A and B are shown apart, each in its own frame.
Chain A
């Protein structure tokens, strides 16, 4: 593979950002599903102590699935930052992740993403875009 072409390609940048956003969203959805099934960590800690709270998290298969995808997202981000500026990669991944998470939370976690949250997501996306310029 010609590394120079790969580095300068628009599609390569798009693929890198998409890999970060999709793996990050998958990780966050699985982790959120795990924490929803475990319940309020503060309540568990009050009842069973810190050890009980840690045990409740570490015995959840959904949590480890989430961690796996977060690890994929982490190394994808490291790779992306090595080839792109933070000024482009940071806002692009951050703003797209906000929208992807809201969509995934509504579809897979059945969260009530109401008009208030969509308006806030839109404001934050545009805000992050302006921060990059």
Chain B
């Protein structure tokens, strides 16, 4: 459930940010205030809400799994976006994109049965690292 939220919220949030930012006129590094004001436009704001949901579930996942495991196991969010594009939005999906979907699914399917956390000598000895 937690890994699913991480996987889905991040790509949807980035898509909202993209839609919001590409609809704005070109920004310049010499006008940083314009970049900050972009945060308050509707699509960018929705993207930020989704990314907050991503961040909360991401922190929870990182508290019991390795970073290198969480990053790989949540990559299937890209597949979800692609499937939504094809079956919900009825967009055309090329054979190359289907190949990408298959490769990501294979990668995620291969890594998820493995250990989610590196066992350190401290953890193996049963000592808690949680502050009391």
Q: Chain A binding site: helix, strand, loop or mixed by DSSP?
A: helix
Which residues of B sit under 8 angstroms from A79, Cβ to Cβ? Answer: 27, 29, 35
B104 touches A81 (CB 8 A): no
Interface size on B, residues (CB 8 A): 53
A120 touches B107 (CB 8 A): yes
Which residues of B sit under 8 angstroms from A101, Cβ to Cβ? Answer: 67-68, 71
The answer to whether residues A116 and B129 also contact, given A78-B38, A79-B27 and a CB cut-off of 8 A, is no
Size category, A interface = 35 or more
Query: B97-123 vs A: 1/0 string, CB under 8 Å?
Result: 101111111111011001100111000
Query: A67-106 vs B: 1/0 string, CB under 8 Å?
Result: 0000000010111011101100010001001100110111
B59 touches A124 (CB 8 A): no
The chain B residue with its CB closest to the CB of A94 is B78
The answer to whether residues A31 and B35 also contact, given A98-B72, A111-B118, A124-B108 and a CB cut-off of 8 A, is no
Across the A-B interface, the 3 shortest Cβ-Cβ residue pairs: A39-B130, A130-B100, A127-B103
